[in-house]
Chains A and B, each alone.
Chain A
Amino acid sequence: MSGQPSIRDTFFEECEELLEALVEGLADMEDPDHSKETVNAVFRAVHSIKGGAGAFGLDELVHFAHTFETVMDKVRSDTLDVDPELLRLFQRSGDQLADLVEAARDDRDPNRDIQVVVLAELQKYLGDEDEEEEIEFDAMGLDFGGPLDLTDISDDSSEPSSQMISIRFVPKRSLFENGHEPLLLFDAIAELGTLTVSADISAVPDFDEFDSDEPHIVWELTLETDESETVLHEVFEFVDSLCDITITVHRNESASEPPPAVVDLGLPEEPVAPEPSSDPTAAEPLAKPVAVASPSSPSSAASAAAPAADRDHRGPKPTLRVDLDRVDRLINTVGELIINQAMIVQRIEELDLPSGANLTNELEAYKLLARDIQEGVMAIRAQPVKPLFQRMSRIVREASDATGKSARMVTVGDSTEVDKTVIERLADPLTHMVRNAVDHGLETPEKRIAAGKDEVGTIRMSAAHRSGSVFIEIGDDGAGLNRPRILETAINKGLVSPEADLTETEIDNLLFLPGFSTASEVSNLSGRGVGMDVVKNAVQALGGRVSITSTPGKGTTFTIVLPLTLAVMDGFVISVAQETMVIPIASILETVTPNARDLHRIGLNGEVLRVRGRYVPIVDVAHNLGLERNSDSNGNGVLLLVETEMQELNALRVEAIHDQRQVVIKSLESNYGRIPGVSAATILGDGKIALILDPEELVKLNSGDVAPMPIIANQEELHHAAHT
């Protein structure tokens, strides 16, 4: 069975879901008023992992899950009370279970050092009586539940030579009620050798006093077989307490006369009259319709209420597994639909139809439908951040163990849905930030107590949708950023000049500079050669940005703002040097049509805009893209105020703003490469391509931070040089 990779894969997929349910259940158990169903759900999650793991021979996982489950079972049966210590052990056990699952999936060794410790702690709750209870993994339930009536067994049954076995079989009413069928039993026995069956119906009463509930039949069977008697016991395994069986073995006798019989059934022929009439179902046929979910039945009423109460926090929702490629193809096609719709709108506008034409309404409906389809398709890729957050709570525990700090994790809005790719690519940055938060953000328990804080620090993760973006925050209630030290480090590393007069925000943002992460700060935990610059780059690659707020003594919060989807974006359609371009609305704080008196020249080429008493550098977009600014454009154009990641204000100068619309993002990189100042392209209603500008990079281009020519250009220059 282990040779079925697809089933193995589903097992690990299911494990992920179960681990999720487990973490969730354990979190719910922190509430002292948690329901019994919460405990049951946790138990079941561990239990199901164990059950599946057994099928794949994952013994280490089975063993751990079993121990975990056994302690859980004590809680479930109210023989063990949940206290914070036990709950913490459960959480750690959950982490280990996750590690074991991952290890089995990736075919690597699990982290046995921690596992042994956790197992030992679990064992403490079990005491001696349970310690020896190992799980039986016999291939089948071949053991005998209760004592069989095995009188008159004359000898050891291991001898395989032919033997005669007499069986006296008296079924009880419950045998039939439990779904057994004597004739089928006899079939099974007949497979072991030559069987002769006879029934003694002398106990069957006359028909007028017939009680169909009682079998009234005594069966006498004689089996001539080479098989050992044990095999016979297997056949009767399920019926041992549902009937009276007497087995007598006559060794080395030739086939003898069967015991006296009244009715000779001569199996395996058609069953005769007495048997069906003894079946209780014969009196009440199954044909009667059964209202299973009827609330009038107490058992189903209880169960019908349960799923409703459960619905929003556990229980598998029906899902459909779809190849991601198919979804992505669909997304592309829907992107085409949106573009096509925009094209149709434009063509119709060109027709200059009389106002109030019916077509306009239909067109509006088409637009809304296209938008609905698009949102629906994008939603397929959207997933709740919960699994991501749950992974982070594991990181918090690991980090607090490693640093000797106590920390708890609080999550808010973990049902917020984000594009699948975003979730995948956020895992590493978030891990790093969470580790940092525990390692550098939180104080030691002693310092916290001294500061009058709760000894246990809190790491808060939240996710929310706000104005077309996803906001993810990672906060700690630690000491806040040590700004003098950050500044000192940055100066020592030559990242900032000693004379620089930086605002608090500017100092905080020094953390994001490449090369800031310092040796003196490297601990065994966070210091893995990754700095916050890597985090920032990862977030930027997703079209997002990250910022910091910090209050001394209160803590630090990192905020990541991401686009809702990676495929569409709200943008202003603008013109730059007579070219139509798009700029993301999310990056624009306000638009300014400047008065000449608010514009000031600085130096040779510099120009600033005065806004509410502040002087803001002007970034000429055309100039920075190497395009000629249209000289006869209307005066000073329009300025778009943007804020960079360093919280600096800049004003982007463009010729005009034409429209505001949702555009489909088309990668330029896939067929060409990166172009400074341009993040992607889109296709407008007329089928033409418009470039999507990257304001952040335009500002950098303006200040000379980015080489204006892309890599390809440099190589081209060489190429051309070779020719001329």
Chain B
Amino acid sequence: MTTKVLAIDDSRTIRNLLRLSLETAGFEFHSACDGVEGVARFSEVNPDVVITDINMPNMDGYGVIETLRTKDKTSVPIIVLTTESSDDLKARARAAGATGWIVKPFDDTSLVSVLRRLTGHAA
């Protein structure tokens, strides 16, 4: 079984970069361009891991995490992709239920190893 990743980011560039890195590494890649679409895609795709941006239109990343944790009651890893690495952001993300975070610009090998570690899949 390939590992399914759902990436939620309003930047097409970031989605493209993620797709490139993750598909190369053997993940099945799905994406959504804002929070609302992300939450909807989640129930369609049923991913093994979610990567989400924080600053997005319609529903921000915190909203996505809270919705997935409280409403979808999911325990899949949710990784926050952010340009900031402030403690405040991490604390907020964690309070919402984030599993971890990755600071943009991301290094694709580290990204892949984090995803593998959190999902336990070789890919």
- Report which A residues bind B (CB closer than 8 A): 1, 4, 7, 10-11, 13-14, 40-41, 43-44, 47-48, 50-52, 54-55, 57, 135-141, 143, 145-146, 176-181, 183-185, 187-188, 235, 237-238, 241-242, 279-281, 284, 286, 288-290, 292-293, 297, 299-300, 303-304, 306-307, 310, 314-316
Contacts and interface: CB of A to CB of B under 8 A. Distances in A.
Contact of B13 (A7, A40, A141, A300): A7
Given A54-B104, A238-B99, A307-B58, A177 B75 contact: yes
A138 B58 CA distance: 29
Nearest to B78: A179
Nearest to B36: A303
A600 B97 CA distance: 91
A132 to B, nearest CB: 14
A180 B106 contact: no
Contacts of A299: 59, 63, 66-67, 71
A167 to B, nearest CB: 16
Given A7-B17, A43-B55, A307-B36, 18 more contacts: A1-B17, A1-B108, A14-B12, A44-B55, A48-B13, A139-B105, A139-B106, A140-B106, A145-B90, A145-B91, A178-B98, A238-B99, A290-B71, A290-B72, A307-B58, A310-B57, A310-B58, A315-B57
22 contacts: A10-B12, A10-B16, A48-B10, A140-B111, A179-B97, A179-B118, A238-B99, A238-B118, A280-B75, A281-B73, A286-B46, A286-B73, A286-B74, A290-B43, A290-B71, A292-B39, A292-B42, A292-B71, A299-B66, A300-B39, A306-B58, A307-B36
Given A290-B43, A299-B63, A300-B36, A314 B83 contact: no
Contacts of B78: 178-179
A183 B119 CA distance: 10
5 closest cross-chain pairs (CB), A and B? A238-B100, A52-B13, A139-B107, A54-B105, A179-B99
A51 B104 contact: yes
Interface in B79-123: 83, 85, 87, 90-91, 94, 97-108, 110-111, 114, 117-120
Nearest to A135: B83
B63 A179 contact: no
Contacts of B102: 140-141
B87 A145 contact: yes
A303 B59 contact: yes
Contacts of A316: 10, 12, 33
A10 B12 CA distance: 7
B55 A47 contact: yes
Contacts of A235: 117
A179 B77 CA distance: 4
B97 A184 contact: no
Contacts of A10: 12-13, 16
Contacts of A139: 105-107, 110
Nearest to A133: B86
B75 A281 contact: yes
Contacts of B40: 292-293
Contacts of B72: 286, 290, 292
A213 to B, nearest CB: 13
Contacts of A48: 10-11, 13-14, 55
A57 B42 CA distance: 32
A630 B25 CA distance: 78
A136 B85 contact: yes
B111 to A, nearest CB: 7
Contacts of B21: 1
